[in-house]
Structure 1
Amino acid sequence: MLRNLAEQREPLVITQNGEAKAVLQDIASFEETQEALTLLKVLALGKLDVEAGRVKSVADVVARLRSKRKTD
């Protein structure tokens, strides 16, 4: 069963009395899903920052990084 999960990369839905109760998937698919969810969360947080006006122009950021580089 585990070999088939890894090869097919299709989740296995486990049912009880005809109702879905759990999902079994290979670790590679699980990790990909977690990475995708993390990226979506970062994008959502970034969108909230933009909506709240917590942004800086690229020119300001570059200038700040250059000034930090000179002091290091």
Structure 2
Amino acid sequence: MRYSSQVKPISYLKANAAEVLTRLAEQREPMVITQNGEAKAVLQDIASFEETQETLALLKILALGNRDLAAGKVKPVSDVVARLRAK
């Protein structure tokens, strides 16, 4: 995804905040905000933010699982099923 078309100075954000929020929600593309010609922040709609956070959480779970697997912290599924049935 290219962000070059979604780069706006902070003065644009200040003058057009409501329009920016509407645009973010409709287009669901992040906007880069610059200050003194330098990228300083990224704005995105809340739905996209929540999706990103959920994706990151799932990736973290996968990474932790892979780490446990590499460390040998695993049990055969048959043992787990037997334990659950015993409860």
TM-score, normalised on structure 2? 0.75
| CA deviation string 1:13-46 (max 9, x = no partner) | 0012222110010000000000000000000000
Report the aligned-residue RMSD: 0.7
* AA partner of residue 62 (structure 1): V
C-alpha distance in 1 between matches for 2:58 and 2:21: 28
Paired residue for 2:54, among 35, 45, 48? Answer: 35
**3-state SS, counterpart of residue 55 of structure 1:** coil
User: Number of residues paired by the alignment?
Assistant: 68
Which structure ranks higher in relative contact order (CA pairs < 8 Å, sequence separation ≥ 6)?
A: 2
**3-state SS, counterpart of residue 25 of structure 2:** helix
C-alpha distance in 1 between matches for 2:36 and 2:64: 40
**3-state SS, counterpart of residue 23 of structure 1:** strand
**3-state SS, counterpart of residue 41 of structure 2:** strand
- Matched residue, 1:50: 69
Identity of aligned residues (%): 78
C-alpha distance in 2 between matches for 1:18 and 1:10: 21
C-alpha distance in 2 between matches for 1:19 and 1:39: 32
User: What are structure 1's unaligned runs of at least 5 residues?
Assistant: none
**3-state SS, counterpart of residue 60 of structure 1:** helix
